[in-house]
């Protein structure tokens, strides 16, 4: 297992997101494509926020296609959505314009897309409202866990520091941002997401000395890797097993990371 799934695949990320630390982040497989897209857009009149709007729109299109029971196409577009999701962050790094607005809006946009897609699956697969809520909440907790160790790993190196483990303190806007916009999006983030981050923080221990195990295992829970797995389920006609993936396997991996963090 150690030489296969968790350490034999994924993308070694040197500079950029994790700075000078080489890690295995399974959800970073699309990062080279995202970086290429960012380079292409660097001198184009396209803002980082417009890229974020695009991947939100694509998520909503995916939800519509799922409602139409065009499951394979929708799940393929979810992979494309994940690649575009990497473009906005890379574009901000290339332009050296980190953004609190972008950081908060990206999370909000991802959540809107998640709820829309899960709602569509619930309609097609006849999930109960309770199962739908459980799927959304479980996925948000899994994202929060991955984000925690992604941020902690960036803090160990020379990666970007736009995201923080604890977002409760309101950040000061960059010169190219409006403080009022940062304040508004920060408030939305605190109301919707800070309780998840706080709960994950309380359940997490100090972690291993390098955090490599925690990051690599939790990166399987990131959207980049999950979109590939869901596409595989769609291709095999097994999308009805999505609850087993999210509530079974993924929750098991989350528990494994949390337990390891205390050892």
Residue 86: CATH number of its domain: 1.20.120.1760
Residue 161 lies in a domain: no
In this prediction, residue 23 carries a pLDDT of 84
Positive or negative torsion for Cα 113, 193, 225, 29: positive
In this prediction, residue 17 carries a pLDDT of 66
Residue 114 lies in a domain: yes
Round to whole Å and give the CA distance between 143 and 87: 19
The number of folded domains in the chain is 1
In this prediction, residue 72 carries a pLDDT of 98
Residue 1 lies in a domain: no
Residue 2 lies in a domain: no
In this prediction, residue 93 carries a pLDDT of 87
| Token code pair at residue 44 | 């184009």
Residue 146 lies in a domain: yes
For the chain, 263 residues long, the average pLDDT of each consecutive 10-residue run is: 36 53 87 93 95 96 98 97 92 90 94 97 98 97 94 74 79 94 96 93 93 95 95 96 97 97 95
Round to whole Å and give the CA distance between 60 and 200: 28
Residue 45 lies in a domain: yes
- 133-144 burial, b if ≥16 CB within 10 A, otherwise e? ebbbebbbbbbb
In this prediction, residue 263 carries a pLDDT of 92
Residue 110 lies in a domain: yes
In terms of residue numbers, what domain contains 103?
10-153+167-262
């Amino acid at each position: 297992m150690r030489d296969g799934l968790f350490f034999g695949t994924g993308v070694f990320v040197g500079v950029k997101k994790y700075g000078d630390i080489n890690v295995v982040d399974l959800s970073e497989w699309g990062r080279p494509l995202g970086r290429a897209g960012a380079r292409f857009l660097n001198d184009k009149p396209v803002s980082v926020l417009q890229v974020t709007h695009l991947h939100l729109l694509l998520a909503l299109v995916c939800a519509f296609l799922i409602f139409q029971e065009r499951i394979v196409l929708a799940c393929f577009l979810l992979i494309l959505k994940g690649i575009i999701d990497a473009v906005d962050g890379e574009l901000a790094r290339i332009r050296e314009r980190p953004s609190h607005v972008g950081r908060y809006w990206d999370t909000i946009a991802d959540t809107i897309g998640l709820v829309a897609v899960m709602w569509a699956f619930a309609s097609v697969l006849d999930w109960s409202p309770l199962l739908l809520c459980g799927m959304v909440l479980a996925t948000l907790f899994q994202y929060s866990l991955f984000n925690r160790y992604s941020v902690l790993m960036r803090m160990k190196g020379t990666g970007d520091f736009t995201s923080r483990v604890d977002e409760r303190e309101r950040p000061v806007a960059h010169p190219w941002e409006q403080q009022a916009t940062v304040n508004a999006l920060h408030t939305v983030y605190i109301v919707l997401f800070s309780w998840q981050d706080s709960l994950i923080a309380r359940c997490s221990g100090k972690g291993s000395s390098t955090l490599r195990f925690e990051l690599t295992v939790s990166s399987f829970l990131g959207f980049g890797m999950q979109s590939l797995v869901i596409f595989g389920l769609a291709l095999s006609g097994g999308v009805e097993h999505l609850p087993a993936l999210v509530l079974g396997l993924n929750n098991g991996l989350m528990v494994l990371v949390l337990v390891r963090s205390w050892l």
